[in-house]
Amino acid sequence: MKGTKTRRQPVPPTPPPQTKPRIRRAAFLAALALGAFGTVFGIVKLINHQSAPPGMVWIPGGEFTMGTDSEFGQKVEKPAHRVKVDGFFMDETDVTNAQFREFVEATGYVTTAERTPTLDEIMHQVGPDAKPPKPEDLVPGSIVFMPTDREVPLNVPDAYRQWQKWTPGANWRHPEGPGRSIEGKDDHPVVHVSWDDATAYAKWAGKRLPTEAEWEFAARGGLEGKKFVWGDEPFSEEHPQCNTFQGHFPDKNTAKDGYLRTSPVKAFKPNGYGLYDMAGNVWQWCNDWYLPEAYALTAGRGVLVNPTGPAASFDPRERPPERVHRGGSFLCCVGYCFNYRPSARLGCTADTGMSHLGFRCVKSRD
């Protein structure tokens, strides 16, 4: 009709570029794949968790760098070298007073510290240069940390004798000596256990002590080459990551972390594998013989698979043989014993018991 305007037809929307559906589809498939992987990983983790013996966690095993070449490491931690370990179960905490009591009550076991020692056994623990005890002093006992009443030199030979004291009557039931007990401390790590005691407990429990390689792999919690079990972040006085000595060692412990000596085994956060106290609180026995130069003896051999340490320790004609202990303790601090690091290692005789030395066990998968 003349004068009538033609109605404009609506313009259909421009379809989105074809690449967008493809991108979204690819993203969806990738997310699906990751979700499937995560589900499988979670199922495997759940299976491992459910199959773990009570109180233990599954350590998956793998290859890692053992020791350190860093400037903060001591000579006994060098050279760093590659090691591969098979998977195993590990106690999630140090063996506690309650757990050790169960063993003693079931077996009637008497620890090294509760038996009358020989003169040789005491001299192994206090050192060859110490004054020999009198025959009437050969009574059961162990080594207890005694804070000094003043500042003392730390850079002298055998400085530890100023605060580590042989104490008659000290044992796992009386960690600070006669008159002090473990009442109310069932969840604290058992101490004053020798390597022999720890091995006896492990056998009774159907377990064993970890190799030094297993211990360090587990302590790192999946963190490769880090300074501490929690990463590279320095120890924090205000927000402590583990139980160490705070203040001026060995005379003034401020105990800002809440503990003058041992702490409950789950007082601090676990590492990446769910293990508690792999730094600080108490040292932990390992199965290996101790040699300061153990790593140097295996240098250049490529990746070591499930190493079990040297075949022997010191020549007994020159020095009593020793076993390895790891992890540091409530006596470690930056100013003296900077050993709450996963690469740190020390040793002492198998009959030694101390107020800052305990253990945990492992178990191979059947």
Q: Which of 63, 61, 60, 69 is nearest to 82 (CA)?
A: 63
Paired tokens of 245 = 């000595």
- The pLDDT confidence band at residue 19, using thresholds 50, 70 and 90, is very low
**Domain limits, the chain:** 44-364
Mean confidence (pLDDT) of the chain: 87
Higher pLDDT, 59 or 44: 59
Q: CA torsion 15→18→22→23, rounded to 10°?
A: -80
What pLDDT digit, counting tens, does each position of 301-360 carry? 999 999 999 999 999 989 999 999 999 999 999 888 899 999 999 999 999 999 999 999
For residue 148, the model assigns a pLDDT of: 95
Q: If 0-12 CB within 10 Å is exposed, 13-18 middle and 19+ buried, where does residue 123 land?
A: middle
**CA–CA distance, 185 with 278 (Å, rounded to integer):** 19
**CA–CA distance, 360 with 285 (Å, rounded to integer):** 7
DSSP letter string over 114-125?
GSPPPHHHHHHH
CATH fold of 44-364 reads paralog of FGE (formylglycine-generating enzyme) (3.90.1580)
For residue 366, the model assigns a pLDDT of: 76
**CA–CA distance, 115 with 4 (Å, rounded to integer):** 118
For residue 125, the model assigns a pLDDT of: 61
Q: Which of 229, 271, 261 is nearest to 329 (CA)?
A: 261
Paired tokens of 135 = 């025959």
Terminal C-alpha separation, the chain: 95
**CA–CA distance, 237 with 256 (Å, rounded to integer):** 7
pTM listed for this prediction: 0.83
